[in-house]
A and B are shown apart, each in its own frame.
Chain A
């Protein structure tokens, strides 16, 4: 390192070495790698515990077949409902400033930060009051309760994802569309939505995965009745109560496969130029 005559360090490249990048890269790799290894190890442990027989007997069980069917159906419906609400909500919060926007943002965070069980208890409380109570005999402890409980949590995550997706689309496109003769609605449908396809897919995947794993609110609001409101997490819970560790792990593996299938499908669809 060079020094000037008055003792100050002189900038320049002669003789100066910025030091190795290796410790930084190694540190990053170790910290990231540890987490990834634990995830893979967990799944490997599940696989190691479950033999083919217990997997087959789980898949042959009528209760589990019903549970898989209801899980797929309820997750798909709650995802559609979530997107139906999350797309306008995400666009509204991304593009418009209005009084109470911060309050709205905070309210939208409630289902994300609240313990899931509390969502279930709150839904149960809500359906004691009109107009919700008018429908409670067809909703509470019935299949609609499963979908509603999943929707309440999944939608908040989907709305956040859609907000981020719309934030990433510059407003210039809408501005040009407006000058070309669009109203706000046409600009949204013709210019923004085609660019938000990948965001919608990501939000839908997130909502589906959240719905699949939802347990607390379903237990409280829909109950855990076999062959009625039993979804896969409920099956895991019921098998655990019966002390059937292998059955519990077999169902967990089914959930892992389902989640992985959705994730991979969504990634593959995302790669097919959904976003121009």
Chain B
């Protein structure tokens, strides 16, 4: 479960105040709202990437409000994937595992498994600049899933893709994420994604968050 209680975030001129919501364990939550209303700020606060003024964030039963992003068990995929430009696909997928000092054999097996699941096995030696938009998002998703996070935060992961690739990655999300027990918070403007992926829809308007 992702539970946010009376969250206040201040970032320069912009602020979010008194935001509360609950997303059940294993549910797929979609966050919608106008551009600039604070969706990304809220998502980043859940990931631990924004310092908050007050309030509480719980992931499961654990209060993670003061924990570092890497201690929260959250996978994060930003809009364009943000693949590290200097690392090959294999090294992107292995990045978090290397940080956790996993054994080379374990890393190799996990990278192969992820690559197969995401359909990027033939791209393992490629650098990000040699990938298409859809391939990048597959790798970004794989990198976020590499540590088997219990929570996944997706910031408009399909918005920069053409229609065909959009459908392809959308199907991938349905197959690899939805219903697998991972709790997902996903920002989108796309109605089809809302209709087909969402168990719960949160709408941000002004400084208010409503559940649909």
Point out the residues of chain B lying under 8 angstroms from A175, CB to CB. 44, 47, 49, 69, 76, 78, 82
B65 to chain A, nearest CB (A): 16
Report if A100 contacts B (CB, 8 A).
no
The residue in chain B whose Cβ has the minimal distance to the Cβ of A175 is: B49
- Say whether A182 contacts B99, CB under 8 Å: yes
Contact assessment for A179 and B74 in the assembled complex, using a CB-CB cutoff below 8 Å? yes
- Give Cα A219–Cα B32 distance, bound, in whole angstroms: 65
Q: Report A204 CB to chain B, min CB distance, Å.
A: 19
- The answer to whether A176 has its CB under 8 Å from any CB of chain B is yes
Give chain A residues whose Cβ lies under 8 Å from the Cβ of B147. 180-181
Minimal Cβ-Cβ distance residue in A for B47: A179
Most buried by B among A173, A179, A195, A275: A179
Cβ of A110 under 8 Å from chain B: no
- Determine the distance from Cα of A190 to Cα of B70 in the docked complex, in whole angstroms: 15
Return chain B residues, CB-CB under 8 Å to A19. none
- Which of A173, A181, A195 sits near B99, CB closer than 8 Å? A181
Q: Does A243 contact B (CB under 8 A)?
A: no
Q: How far is the CA of A186 from the CA of B80 in the complex (A)?
A: 22
Asked if A170 CB lies within 8 Å of chain B CBs, one says yes
Least distance between A98 CB and chain B CB atoms (Å): 13
B113 at the interface (CB under 8 A from A): no
Within residues 79 to 111 of chain B, which ones have a CB less than 8 A from any CB in chain A?
A: 80, 82, 84-86, 95-96, 99-100
CA distance A182 to B82 in the complex (A): 15
- Chain B residues with CB under 8 Å of A195's CB are 84-86
**Residues of chain A from 187 to 204 with CB closer than 8 A to chain B in the complex:** 190-191, 194-195
Residues of A within 8 A of B48 (CB): 178-179
Is the CB of A168 closer than 8 A to any CB of chain B? Answer: no
With A191-B84, A276-B85, A276-B86: A176-B76 Cβ-Cβ less than 8 Å: yes
Cβ of B138 < 8 Å from any Cβ of A? no
Chain A interface residue number, banded: 10 to 19
Which residues in chain A, 132-173, are within 8 Å of chain B measured between CB atoms?
170, 172-173
Would B127 and A182 count as touching, CB distance under 8 A? Answer: no
Question: Quick check: B84 and A178 within 8 Å, CB to CB?
Answer: no
Task: Provide the bound-state CA to CA distance between A72 and B112, in Å.
Answer: 51
Contact call B75/A179, Cβ cutoff below 8 A: yes
| Chain A residues in 8 Å Cβ range of B70 | 178-183
Question: Smallest distance from the beta carbon of B63 to chain A beta carbons, Å?
Answer: 18
Pick from B44, B86, B128, B143: contact of A180, CB below 8 A.
B143
Most buried by A among B69, B76, B85: B69
Do the beta carbons of B47 and A180 come within 8 Å of each other?
Answer: no
Chain A CB within 8 A of B162 CB: no
**B129 contacts A by Cβ under 8 Å:** yes
Identify the B interface with A (CB < 8 A).
44, 47-49, 68-70, 72, 74-76, 78, 80, 82, 84-86, 95-96, 99-100, 127-129, 140, 143-144, 146-147
The residues of A with any CB-CB pair to B shorter than 8 Å are 170, 172-173, 175-183, 186, 190-191, 194-195, 275-276
